[in-house]
Structure 1
């Protein structure tokens, strides 16, 4: 099935049903013509438009974990789209490839923003989405992406970063952050230094942003992903922590309810 929208070509490849959660894979393009893949999920038991949430993947790319989170959000009653920041939906399980994909995606801030915005427009175009109520969540690399979108004033009600990088090449300026911000950070995350945290908080405060910084004791980088322990075999200091995963997800739910009211 083909769907045409101004500036977007959408191809629905497949439709699957998980209980009452409907999913479909979509292709679209960023402003510079980069082909991108999206994974859309919604609960068909809910009638009418509902708030929309973009999901931005880890540095591994648009994999099953990012898609699972879109389904989780659909189960909470949201219209959810896991977007593609690398192009053509590519993903990997090897950190060297992931690093290369991530560096290429962040080499140009405007291109990265364009890819995010293309995904946001795709989400808004879905009939189940209330385009007046939009948010974004991201994991690791995706956490940095959603924070950068908030820094750059993308019109979102809120953003949530799960074990994301706090450093940026596009710092917020006074008044630039329109979205409310929630950071879910593991206290044992060696990828983020105390200095990074201090700089981030100072940046948010100087920008006049509304932000919340939650710490989870003993949680390492990647604490929300059950596959993190397997990836640790590559020598990465990452790991899953069930308690932090569940607490941060509950914190996100409360945050989204607040920003959408």
Structure 2
């Protein structure tokens, strides 16, 4: 078992482990165009048969402990959880300046961002432990933006969920290919994603009348409101987690 920090252990333990559960975890090596990647898998081995899967995309610091904690939480709920690696093996950042520079490479090349999520998706969809017809992609901050970008590719997803993501509206609109439902959880006090950005993104979603989407705004929540430390907002974190679990129940 990963030796989680106390703050991440508290997150994990907020989800009760089922009696008889056997949470299995493993690092997963894969690649994208020759670049080695290292994801993280967690699921309950005591749950028989192919499982619905949730792919988790990390924030701008890379695949560190936080998305793995979320994977553990989802595994306790019976899902196959896979924390994707968009940056490549070993590319993890402690300081905001380095993280911003790395994330900027992908915001400046959305095709690459989408392709990196696709590499993780292919790993998950081809795992015999997964029901490939039931896959959702979620992400936090940078990862939320990546989840939404991947949904635009038309990949066969049951849904896409973004938490405190930078909302990148496209002009012209680029939502025609989205196959699943969309849930966006954003902070009402987020200077990175002001009301105008939320409104612009919603306007783009509205160009597709049949698209199933929700945008939920949490009062007082700043950017990164689910991340322990910093701008962590306990109420917004708890509420957005409940929205996620309800969303998964619905789309799966």
TM-score of the aligned structures, taking structure 2 as reference length: 0.88
Gaps of 5+ in 1: 1-14, 230-238
Matches of 1:175 and 1:102 in 2, distance apart?
Answer: 26
Q: Distance in 1 between matches of 2:54 and 2:36?
A: 21
Counterpart in the other structure of 1:4: none
In the other structure, the counterpart of 1:116 is 117
Structure 1, residues 179-213: CA drift from partner, whole Å, max 9, x if none? 21000111111110111011101000103321001
User: Residue 20 of structure 1: CA displacement?
Assistant: 2.2
- Deviation string, structure 1 residues 11-66 (Cα, Å, up to 9, x no partner): xxxx7699721100011111x22211100000112111110110000001100001
Offset at residue 173 of structure 1 (A): 3.2
Aligned to 1:248: 240
Superposed, 1:149-160 pairs within 5 Å as 149-160=150-161
Deviation at 1:176, TM superposition (A): 2.1
Q: Please point out which of 222, 225, 233 is paired with 1:223.
A: 225
Instruction: Decide which structure has greater strand share.
Output: 1
Give the alignment's Cα RMSD to 1 decimal: 1.9
2:214 counterpart (202, 205, 212): 212
Unaligned regions of 5+ residues in structure 2, if any? Answer: 4-16
Mark the CA change 1:91 to 1:170 in structure 2 (over 3 Å): closer, same or farther. Answer: farther
Aligned residues: 235
Any conservation in 1 of the 2:152–2:175 contact (CA below 8 Å)? no
2: CA distance between counterparts of 1:117 and 1:102? 17
* Structure 1 length-normalised TM: 0.85
Partner residue in 2 for 1:97: 98
